[in-house]
Amino acid sequence: MFPVFRIFLTRLVRVCLLLSLFSSFLAQAEVVATDWLTDAYHPPVAIRLVLTGQSDPQSGEAAGYLEVKLDRGWKTYWRSPGEGGVAPEIDWSASENVSDFQWHWPFPSRFSLLGIETIGYQGDTLFPITLKIQDWQQPVLFKARLRLSSCSTVCVITDYPVELSFVPDQLMPSSNEVAQYAQAMSRVPQKTQQLLTLGAVWDEAQQRLQITAHNPQGWQQPDLLLDGQSDKVAESSFTQPRIQVDGQNLTATFTVSSWLGKADLSGESVQVIFADQSLLVEQTVAIESGLIQSTTSGWGLVLMFASALLGGLILNVMPCVLPVLGMKLTSVLTLDKPQRRSVRLQFLTSAAGILSAFWLIAIGLLALKWSGQAIGWGIQFQSASFIVLMLLITTLFGANMLGLFELRLPVSASTWMATRGSDQRYLGHYLQGMFATLLATPCSAPFLGTAVAFALGADTLTLWFIFTGLGIGMALPWLLVALFPQLALRLPKPGAWMNRIKILFGLMLLATSLWLLTLLAAHWPLWAILIYLLSTLVLYIWQGWRHYGAQRIVLFVLITVLSFGAGLWLTKFSVANGLTQLTDDLPWQPLIAEQIAEHVEQGKVVLVDVTADWCITCKVNKMNVLLQNPVHKALQKEEVVLMRGDWTLPSESVTRFLQSHGRFGVPFNIVYGPQAPQGIALPVLLTDRAVMDALREAKGEAR
């Protein structure tokens, strides 16, 4: 037994020795890899290139991976790195017998630092690669330079020389490297066009991209990434999406920015990467232009509703509404024996008119929105027909309050209203509320712009909700009187003084008519306006002669002439003494949005003023801030470029500019500069300090 055992043992040792030698030979033959490459000036990073030995002579492909080791706290970046990173690059042009180098990207992680979002990797990361060989029978020299950006609290870009030589037909798989490669490839999204039903909508006004997807298998915890091949997509950064899942349907909304200024994804295509518990795919989808229905949290809606209430309330003290408030006051004073119930119903009716008018505006804006037309607060004043209607109403109401004529109903109608239709007497108060709202729309006030912009970019229900808040806010004074009628009942008793008040309010309405008439200058030729003005003047003189006599008419004309003369003298005196700059002598250029970036690149500061002739707040900003020192003097400097967008008449380019900044009304002022290429939006009501601070910040000067 012993000799037999000795022979067996000897043979076993020989076999083991041979297997060991053969295994060592296989290991040396199969693993083709570079050494670990480091940079003496940047030791936290090490890289190496490894071939697994897997190959396909028919396709001429050899598999491998690039391994990157990062010390704790360091990261590198994905192919689309986000807002602040730099994607890895490899230049293999010096290689021999290599026709292509394919880089496969595992699904990355998101990082955020000081509000800057980047996308990349931490720790030990394997990037699968595929080499395409030209001639399978010839040796290969892979000679490349890898440029890798790595960041912690600082960022370092390092170049690594990578050199690897091998003979393709001698490659043999290595089990360890094959396993590493397979594990890395399992984290790479697989390209497909069949799995999901996709859609993409680009809303240029909101600078948002919305992706919709249908997955028959449903969703668990999905995440999405976007990138693309075109320059416009590559120049854009996509924030972490807001994802909503409804059964098998997914909606992801991205906010988009571009380092060039304004993003434009119209007609582009993007690659959408989906990651879920049982899904990791990449699909390409074409982008269509459209509107995105915004959603917000419950608290966000509450805050916007509060802004709408406050904005609507402020409209009551704007000059656009004052004449109608005068009409309302006069209607209360004409009551012979004011009663609580009567006053309450009158003011409730006016409040209902205000609310109805806001609902009508909302319906009109929704119709424009659904038809793809421009939408905005006060946009109806771009229509000559609307201005003419308002002009006729203010002219007739003003003349009526001046006593030049009275509108009387037939006796039968008056009898019917007195006996059966007593509620019809409130129709006038209802119309007064609606009329006040329509006249208020050219006025933009603090909080109003925020609420309106939010509403116009939101879904239908939210828009309706916000405009209801605006209506309630503007109707609050009327509602207050309806709740506490004694406020109206405490007004002085009717008397002769009421006629003087009526004349004052009538003149205020006529001043509104003159203002509306100036707006028609953008629509009507001068001769048409003069004919209207002369015919109205003749009618007023004729009616005034009949009611007041020649002496009062002459006195009225004389007072008017003296008033105009005094106004002109005061203006001349103010300008001569440097009190008020009424002449706009600033070097305004037409707003061409595409030129803003060019001026900024040249070191210029650009102030954009979007205005309209019918915008009262715009005129206040102009007279109180833009044409007053120190702003007026600062805007005349050589390094300041002034651009003005005129929205008096419909303008597609101006509308597009407003909506690109989430604005839907005027005034809108924004300052660009080398330190503010995205722009610094100014408040609705300008102040000297706000404008001067923005100019200094955009230029990079200390305050």
Q: What is the predicted pLDDT for the residue at 551?
A: 58
Q: What is the predicted pLDDT for the residue at 420?
A: 40
Residue-wise pLDDT for 575-596, tens only, equals: 454 447 456 788 999 999 889 9
pTM over 0.95: no
Quote the strand ranges of 167-302, DSSP E.
190-191, 197-203, 208-214, 223-227, 236-238, 242-246, 249-258, 269-276, 279-286, 288-289
Q: What is the predicted pLDDT for the residue at 508?
A: 67
Q: What is the predicted pLDDT for the residue at 549?
A: 59
Calpha distance 545→527 (Å, rounded):
27
Q: What is the predicted pLDDT for the residue at 15?
A: 44
Residue 11 CB coordination number (10 Å): 10
195 SS3 class: coil
Under the banding of pLDDT at 50, 70 and 90, the label for residue 612 is confident
DSSP H helical ranges for 549-605: 550-576, 596-601
- Mean pLDDT to the nearest integer, 21-31: 49
Q: Which of 175-179, 439-443, 538-542 has the highest mean pLDDT?
A: 175-179
Residue 571 tokens read as: 């203006």
Q: Count the alpha carbons within 13 Å of 153 in the hemisphere toward its beta carbon.
A: 0
Under the banding of pLDDT at 50, 70 and 90, the label for residue 398 is low
Q: What is the predicted pLDDT for the residue at 85?
A: 77
Residue-wise pLDDT for 263-316, tens only, equals: 888 888 899 999 988 789 998 888 887 767 655 555 667 777 887 788 788 777
Among 146, 158, 182, CA closest to 52: 182
Q: What is the predicted pLDDT for the residue at 463?
A: 77
- Mean pLDDT to the nearest integer, 317-341: 57
Under the banding of pLDDT at 50, 70 and 90, the label for residue 417 is very low
What percentage of residues in the chain have a pLDDT greater than 70? Answer: 64
Residue-wise pLDDT for 175-206, tens only, equals: 899 999 999 999 999 887 656 667 888 888 77
Question: Average pLDDT over the chain, rounded to whole?
Answer: 76
Q: What is the predicted pLDDT for the residue at 3?
A: 46
Calpha distance 47→246 (Å, rounded):
43
Q: Is the pLDDT of residue 492 over 60?
A: no
Residue-wise pLDDT for 236-246, tens only, equals: 888 888 888 87
Under the banding of pLDDT at 50, 70 and 90, the label for residue 502 is low
- Mean pLDDT to the nearest integer, 445-452: 58
679: left (phi over 0), alpha (psi -120 to 50) or beta: left
